[in-house]
Amino acid sequence: MEMFINITINGLATGMLIFLLAAGLTLIFGLMDVLNFAHGALFLWGAYAGIWTYTTSGSFIFGIIAAIVACCILGYLLERFIVKPVYGNHIQQILITLGAMLVLSELVKVVWGPNIIHARAPEWLRGSWEIGGIFLIKYRVFIIIVGLIVFAGLLFLLNRTKLGLVVRAGVMDKEMVQALGINIRKVFLFVFILGAGMAGLGGMLFGPYSGVIYAEIGLEYGILAFIVVVIGGMGSVLGSMIAALLVGILGSYAAYFLPEIALAVNFLLMIFILVFKPSGIMGMKEALK
Amino acid sequence: MSRLKQLSRFKLTLSVVAVGLLMFPFINDSRTAMIMLTKIFIFAVFAMSYDLLLGYTGIVSFGHAMYFGIGAYTVALCLKAFGPTIPVVLLAALITIVFTAIVSFLVGLLTLRLKAHFFAMLTLAVAALFLVVAEKWRSLTAGNDGFTFAIPELFRDRLTFYIVALVFMILVYLFLERFTQSPMGRVLQAIRENEARVESLGYRVMHYKITANVIAGIVAGLAGILYAMSLRFVNTSVFATELTLDALLITIIGGVGTLFGAIVGAAVIEYARHTLMDLASVHWIFGRWVILLGTVFILVVMFFPKGIVGSTKHWWEKRQMKKAKVTTSDKNFHQDVS
């Protein structure tokens, strides 16, 4: 019994981490309908910039801030120069952001070298609590809490603020919102930067969680984020949360019981869901033509 | 009439280039050049099959390496199991055709009803499954380490293999050219332009898309056979997404929707990769080939969306039109005067 609880908690923590990564993409891909394949690169840059700042300055909080700031700047540059010219054209979006992804991941190797970099949790997040045979690793609990805060914040932003209203309206009818005197381009830019910042946060928290970071995590986790957004349903923050937790928990059970197929579990899950409910768990009917 | 003339001139140029390539090894006995050209031919075939999807039907697939990998492994396993003879290669080709046809049919059936980006994600996922299976089924595939195998005596000669690859590329080009000009190919292009309209005209869009997917899959599988035989080695990298990205890049550089563009693109990319790798000792940036690759992706989309062949064609047609206009306005002028 304890074993199941431990596996489930581990899965929850992994799922929350995946949610942090996918939350930004839910905004960029799910709401604004931009196929941003460079999202994984933002995650990667967040991880490297954050961990580097953290290890040189010694402050974990500093690292988190650095990761978010770095990714916000990158997000601004990406939107301004790469994504803006290709709004509305999916094939061009795929190609151009794929190019950005390749360049950014390779630049990480140029700046920080091609080797893996080790990362440890700060002093106050090391170790674990033990409650009746159940191990609560402090860092994982920390990730679950951060994930819940981001989730609540996103829901609040989208459903309770004027900005959220504008974003949701802008997604439905861009011209109408523009006609009402709102600069939708600026709103989209802001949303893109927000998504990028969340990717940075996810990347930074990923470092101490896995213990090592390397340049290939960009593509690996970028694809995972897409899987989560697709499974959850386009533009649904709640759907992304459910999908991320599903992927995380399923992954940790598979790693324990069926390590052979652990790698394939996400893909099988996505194929299964898309075949039977193409719009995703919480999505509207829009995946089908 | 002038269009016919222009067409035949284009075909004439193509034939001259083909004969030139056929003669090339007898004029220039550089082994590296021959091996590079062989590789270009193989990748041109792979990219042409990709262009049938991307350029002619408007489908973005991220799993095209899957078919390429199936072909590569089929021929490798057959040659290893039954010995290096020509009939075994033909058998492998047959198995590849059947297997890729079945897989592409099933994948198409499952995924082609989805919107473009969902389709892209799903093909990526299916291809990733193939990669995982190939990695894990070590007793059959030897995982990432791969295995070597002997190829038939005839193909061991680089020159023969060069000619085989070249002839194969020409045949595939002619076949796909024919196919895209056929009524069926026209429907595919119409689907690319406006799917809803084609559907409302009464065409069964799914039927056409699946057929395009199956043909592209089979051709990619055959390219995989040649690729594995040219290396005499196979490992799981033939299933990797990077290979699909290569096909994507070759297609967009050469020009989307122009089969000939795939050949030009393959030549440019392979040649650039070859020379840039040599320059790695001069400056580190050349060793980081991927940075240049990504930059090219971005620049092509921004400034050069038609690719090399597409842009040239556009420029040529514009020039012809101008010429035609000038002559007609001249005629009018003369008529007015008289």
DSSP letters spanning A85-154? GGTT-HHHHHHHHHHHHHHHHHHHHHHH-SS-EE----GGG-SEEEETTEEEEHHHHHHHHHHHHHHHHH
Give the number of residues written for chain B: 338
Q: Cα separation of A287 and B119, whole Å?
A: 9
Residue B211: other Cβ atoms inside 10 A: 18
Residue B231: both structure tokens together:
């290396």
Q: What is the separation of C-alpha A131 from the centre of its chain, rounded to a whole number of angstroms?
A: 31
CB contact under 8 A, A99 and B122: no
Residue of B nearest to A102 (CA): B294
Residue A270: which of B113, B125, B196 has the nearest Cβ? B125
User: Mutating which of B113, B132, B276 best tests the A interface, going by the most A Cβ atoms within 10 A?
Assistant: B132
Residue B162 counted as domain residue: yes
CB contact under 8 A, B301 and A90: no
Q: Cα separation of B240 and B128, whole Å?
A: 8
The domain tally of chain B equals: 1
Across B222-239, b (16+ Cβ under 10 Å) vs e yields bbbbbbbbbbeebbbebb
User: Mutating which of A77, A80, A90, A274 best tests the B interface, going by the most B Cβ atoms within 10 A?
Assistant: A274
DSSP secondary structure string for all residues of B137-183: -HHHH-GGG-EE----HHHHSHHHHHHHHHHHHHHHHHHHHHHHHSH
CB contact under 8 A, A95 and B291: no
Residue B113: which of A226, A286, A289 has the nearest Cβ? A289
First CA to last CA across chain A, in angstroms?
Answer: 46
Q: Would you state the pLDDT for residue B328?
A: 64
Residue B154 counted as domain residue: yes
Q: Cα separation of A50 and A55, whole Å?
A: 9
Q: Would you state the pLDDT for residue B289?
A: 75
Q: Cα separation of B166 and A256, whole Å?
A: 50
Determine contact, residues B263/B44, Cβ cutoff 8 Å. yes
Mean pLDDT of A226-238: 86
Q: What is the pTM of this model?
A: 0.84
First CA to last CA across chain B, in angstroms?
Answer: 28
CB contact under 8 A, A95 and B290: no
Mean pLDDT of A16-36: 87
Q: Which of A31-35, B271-275, B326-330 has the lowest mean pLDDT?
A: B326-330
Q: Which of B49-63, B97-111, B242-256, B300-314 has the lowest mean pLDDT?
A: B300-314
Q: Domains in chain A and their CATH numbers?
A: 1-276 (1.10.3470)
Residue B16 counted as domain residue: no
User: Mutating which of B64, B112, B121 best tests the A interface, going by the most A Cβ atoms within 10 A?
Assistant: B121
Determine contact, residues A219/A38, Cβ cutoff 8 Å. no
> What value does the mean pLDDT of chain B take?
86
Q: Cα separation of B136 and A261, whole Å?
A: 9
Q: What is the separation of C-alpha B298 from the centre of its chain, rounded to a whole number of angstroms?
A: 20
Residue B3 counted as domain residue: no
ipTM strictly over 0.85?
Answer: no
Mean pLDDT of A152-156: 93
Q: Cα separation of B86 and A188, whole Å?
A: 60
CA of B127 vs chain A CAs: smallest distance (Å): 10
Question: ∠ at Cα B81 (B79, B85), nearest 5°?
Answer: 40
pLDDT in tens, B147-204: 888 888 888 888 889 999 999 999 999 999 999 999 999 999 999 888 889 989 999 9
The domain in which residue B141 lies consists of 29-332
CB contact under 8 A, A92 and B248: no
Residue B12 counted as domain residue: no
CA of A174 vs chain B CAs: smallest distance (Å): 21
CATH assignment of the domain containing B185: 1.10.3470
Where residue A119 falls (left for φ over 0; alpha for ψ -120 to 50; beta otherwise) is beta
Size of interface A-B (CB pairs under 8 A): 114
- Give kind and range of the element (H or E) at residue A4: helix A2-25
Instruction: List, in sequence order, the alpha helices (H) in chain B.
Output: 2-27, 31-54, 65-82, 86-111, 116-136, 138-141, 153-156, 158-181, 183-193, 195-200, 205-231, 241-254, 259-278, 284-287, 289-303, 307-337
Identify the three-state secondary structure at position B257: coil
CA nearest to B60, candidates A89, A229, A91, A226: A91
Instruction: Name chain B contacts of A260, Cβ cutoff 8 Å.
Output: 136
Residue B114: which of A98, A226, A288 has the nearest Cβ? A288
Q: Which residues pair with A134 in a beta bridge?
A: A131
Find tokens 């489908």 and name the residue.
B59
> Following CA atoms A146, A152, A153, A154 in sequence, which dihedral angle do they give, to the nearest 10 degrees?
110
Residue B4 counted as domain residue: no
Band (B332; pLDDT cuts 50, 70, 90): low
Residue B10 is which amino acid?
A: F
pLDDT in tens, B205-223: 999 999 999 999 999 999 9
Find tokens 């594995």 and name the residue.
B228
